Structure 1
Amino acid sequence: MSRTEHVQAVEGFGTVRVDRIDPERHAELVHGWVNEERARFWGMHGTSVEQVREIYAHLDSLTTHHGFLVHRDDEPVGIFQTYDPEADRVSECYEARPGDIGVHLFVAPSAAPERGFTEGLLTALIDFALTGRTRIVGEPDAANEKAIARLVRAGFELGPEVVLPEVDLPEVFIPAKEARLAFYSRA
């Protein structure tokens, strides 16, 4: 069963709720989202429902990486993942600091067309990610110009382009990725 990790009212936007992904309950929903062409940068295109379930069950077993289903006014609208950069391949590409937290955001297809939607969502997700942390590290695909522009509009400072190395372990395979680092610190 999923549990709520964060709830925040965002003025002019609605209430954002962040729940842990329940692999059994949410696999079909997430599968539908990540297999659309627009989700190609998420890295799960072509997966089956069972593979999505396995990926999020593995993520749920870790203490350093977490997957969340994001809701706006009780409607599921995205996936938010957080991770400890020192326990991730990104640490091979920049000098991680104590207090850093890595993030990934996927906005659901039904929510994407609404102007200003992602900015409203990011308001709550940045607050959530910075709870007990000092800096957010993002690493969108270097070719994902929309995501990079969105992070800049939200106040992220762009870092260098890097190549995240391939991860090939018995429990997970992640291909190498050209990424653009982006950092957010509260002033």
Structure 2
Amino acid sequence: MTAVHIRPLDPTEDAELIHPWVTHPKAAFWMMQDAQLQDVEREYMAIAANPHHDAFIGLVDGEPAFLMERYDPAKAELVGLYEPEAGDVGMHFLVAPSDTPVRGFTRMVITAVMRELFADPATARVVVEPDVRNTAVHALNEAVGFVPEREIQKPEKTALLSFCTRAQFEAAVGVSA
């Protein structure tokens, strides 16, 4: 059994850890390809200072393996781009690059991220806005219950606005959150 633990990201301590993750070619949709270490630290300091946005490090069997962000879409990221509902929580996630990919690992990570978000009884629906060109993440989102609603134009990308309720997540993964 794989153990997943999610802890708050410390911008000062963790910038060096996540810098190669967010600048890796496979993280192109994270839009930090040319970021220097201090840029990553500055970005995550800004997230830490924002009362509506949080960042976390995911550990799998004790090893740092993914980055997760949680935000209030009514106050950050999606302001004015859709009608937020009570209990909406926005999410981003990024799996650390690996020289030896493990089949099903990313799906296990997104499932753990969704379980973490739905562990809060106030979370009614998770909202995501991946780049429309990111077909790999669209498939992962669908696998855990997300339903695309429409394309939206953000300043940095055209995004596919998608939603996943607790019931949709539970039905997709076959267990209760």
Q: TM-score, normalised by structure 2?
A: 0.88
Name the structure 2 match of 1:86.
74
CA RMSD of aligned residues (A): 1.4
Task: List, as ranges, runs of 4+ consecutive aligned residues in structure 1 with deviation greater than 3 Å.
Answer: none
Identify the residue that residue 64 of structure 2 maps to in structure 1. 76
Residues 185, 112 of structure 1: alpha-carbon distance in 2 compared, 3 angstrom cutoff:
farther
1:98 to 74, 78, 86: 86
The structure with more strand, counted as a fraction of residues: 1
Offset at residue 122 of structure 1 (A): 2.1
Partners of 1:182 and 1:83 in 2: how far apart?
A: 15
1:29 to 2:17 alignment:
yes
1:50 maps to amino acid: Q
> Paired residue for 1:65?
53
Q: 1:184 aligns with which of 164, 167, 174?
A: 164
**Number of aligned residues:** 165
Q: Give aligned-pair identity as a percent.
A: 34
CA contact (8 A) 1:77 1:111 kept: no
DSSP-derived class of the 2:34 partner: coil
The amino acid that maps onto 2:134 is N
| CA gap 1:139/1:111 in 2 versus in 1, 3 angstroms | farther
* C-alpha contact 1:162 1:181 (8 A) present in aligned 2: yes
1:77/1:110 contact within 8 Å kept: no
* Match in the other structure for 2:7: 19
| 2:57/2:64 contact within 8 Å kept | yes
Does the Cα contact within 8 Å between 1:111 and 1:117 map onto a contact in 2? no
- Counterpart CA distance in 2 for 1:117 and 1:84 is 27
SS of match in other structure, 1:122: helix
